[in-house]
Structure 1
Amino acid sequence: MKAIKVTCAIIHFDDKILAVQRSTKMKLPLKWEFAGGKIEQGESEIECIKREIAEELNIKIEINERLTPVTYKYPDFKIKLIPFIAKHFSGELKLKEHSDFVIANKEELNNLDWAEADLPILKEFLAL
């Protein structure tokens, strides 16, 4: 099973962090995740995350750092999740695909029911 390459962003809004909740129509319904999406052919990781965030959330971000990618096998698919730490640059947040969002303190992020692939990324981020 080939891994689907997906980027995600840990987006800072000042001193708080954005998390988004998957809709009931998506795989892993109602799980929380860092926003992002699939890398398209010929697209760099940075181009992908900036495009996905603009498409899904209506905002522009500035990339600060790349964290350790995570490969995770769910029962029916496998992903390679490539995380970036970013900050909100411009635009008003509007959800296009997700059902909900929170802008939370780092400590509050542990209280969410995360998609399994995002957990190692959350752990690495919280340890920074």
Structure 2
Amino acid sequence: MKTILVTCAIIQIKDEVLVVQRSKSMKLPLKWEFAGGKIEYGESEIDCIKREIFEELNIKIDIIERLTPVTHQYSNFKIKLIPFVTEYHSGEIKLKEHCNFLLADKNELINLDWAEADLPILKEYLSL
């Protein structure tokens, strides 16, 4: 099974973190995740995450650091999730694919119903 390369962004806005909820029509419906998307052919990880965040959320971000990638096997697909800690730069949040977003205190994040691949990333982020 082919592994899908996906970037995701932990978006810090002041003292909170922006997370998004998958819509009912997406794979893993209503699960919470860090926003992001698939790397296109010839695209760098950083170009991908900046493009995906702008396409999905209508905002621009600045990259702070890259965390440890996570490979996760779901029942019918496999992803390698490449996380970046980022900071909000500009723009007004407008959801294009997700059904909801939340600005949460770092300590509140663990209480959400996360997509499984995002859990190791959340754990690493909370330990920083």
TM-score (ref. length: structure 2): 0.99
CA–CA separation in structure 1 for the residues paired with 2:52 and 2:25? 18
CA–CA separation in structure 2 for the residues paired with 1:43 and 1:77? 22
CA–CA separation in structure 2 for the residues paired with 1:72 and 1:110? 19
Partner of 2:111: 111
CA–CA separation in structure 2 for the residues paired with 1:84 and 1:15? 17
Instruction: Give the drift of 1:103.
Output: 0.4
Q: Secondary structure at the match of 1:37?
A: strand
Partner of 1:85: 85
Spell out, residue by residue over 1:13-68, the C-alpha distance to the aligned partner (whole angstroms, 9 max, x if none): 01100110000010000000000000000000000000000000000000000000
Instruction: Give the drift of 1:2.
Output: 1.5
Aligned residues: 128
Partner of 1:56: 56
Runs of 4 or more consecutive aligned structure 1 residues displaced over 6 Å after TM superposition: none
Residue 16 (structure 2) pairs with residue 16 (structure 1): yes
Residue 127 (structure 2) pairs with residue 127 (structure 1): yes
Q: Secondary structure at the match of 1:125?
A: helix
Question: Structure 1: which 5+ runs fail to align?
Answer: none
CA RMSD of aligned residues (A): 0.3
Instruction: Tell me the percent identity.
Output: 73
Spell out, residue by residue over 1:76-128, the C-alpha distance to the aligned partner (whole angstroms, 9 max, x if none): 00000000000000000010000001000001001100000000000000000
CA–CA separation in structure 1 for the residues paired with 2:2 and 2:95? 29
CA–CA separation in structure 2 for the residues paired with 1:93 and 1:109? 19
Question: Structure 2: which 5+ runs fail to align?
Answer: none
